Amino acid sequence: MKGTSPDLMLIVARLNGLQDEICAGLEALDGKATFQEDLWSRENGGGGRSRVIVDGNVIEKGGVNFSHVHGPLPDRIAEALQLPAGAHFHATGVSIVLHARSPFVPIIHMNVRYFEVEGGRHWFGGGIDVSPIYVVPEQAVKFHQRLKDVCDAHSPAFYPKFKEWCDRYFYQKHRKETRGIGGIFYDHLEADAAHSKEDLFAFEIALGQSFVPCYQDFVVANAAKPYGERELNWQAMRRARYVEFNLLWYKGTKFGLDTDGRTESILMSMPP
């Protein structure tokens, strides 16, 4: 792999391990379903491990994907990032979307990633956001407090900045509505005088490790609530809104397709 550096491979290995940790935590939380793994490779370099869980006690359909792709930077990506066309890149990360069986357990999404390009430039990106079918204000407050605690442990500036970024990013422009109750989102997070590369990666792993506890809060509070056809119909409509955003506005979908990623893995965010 051209341009591979020791710290890059440490990041790849740790994100690979994070996928294992999250899958184990979700299987324990669900209590029935287990993840099915599909290994894939990319013709131009790299590949990944796609893991899908279906028909569980809690999770109707979900995915926890790891990927590490590399090779010459596609022209469209290079232009968007204002980087030289053909420069060698590495992109690695973990991406998660869960659709619960119960309409009272929200859709949840997380992505943590690292990007490195030939010449030494590198950055982190990611975040967590929640799209409830039914909003419970006190649960939204608890979720945001968990994220604030993770952020504050690394920088008091992170939470307000990343929350506002998430609110702007996960907005359905064509509907003039938010996708959910938000969360945090960040991109192009580069080392500076205040935060070393190691600091930023520690924050990213801490955020990843907060995923299962965040989701467990919603499951414990809501999974046992009774529901019927009326609630399922509303769930179907809210899932459709989620699909609209991911196909129209989500940059992760576009990046995956533009870099010739595995289509089934890119679209694992689709509901049942």
List, in sequence order, every beta strand (DSSP E) within the chain.
Answer: 36-41, 46-54, 59-72, 88-100, 107-117, 122-131, 171-172, 177-178, 182-189
Would you give the distance in Å from CA 170 to the centre of its chain?
A: 13
Retrieve residue 58's tokens: 């809690």
Three-state secondary structure of 50-117 = EEEEECCCCEEEEEEEEEEEEEECCHHHHHHHCCCCCCEEEEEEEEEEEEECCCCCCEEEEEEEEEEE
Q: Which of 109, 122, 144, 195 is catalytic?
A: 109
> Residues with Cβ < 8 Å from 153, sequence gap 6 or more?
203, 206
User: Do residues 51 and 61 lie in contact, with contact meaning Cβ atoms separated by under 8 Å?
Assistant: no
CB count within 10 Å of CB 152 equals 12
Retrieve residue 5's tokens: 């550096």
In the residue annotation, 68 being an active-site residue is answered as no
Q: Which residues of 132-144 are buried (b: 16+ CB within 10 A; e: fewer)?
A: bbbebeebbeebb
For residue 228, the SS3 value is coil
CA distances 103 to 24, 40, 176, 216, Å, are: 24, 32, 23, 15
Beta strands 122-131; 59-72: pairing state: unpaired
Retrieve residue 206's tokens: 């801490």
Active-site residue list: 109
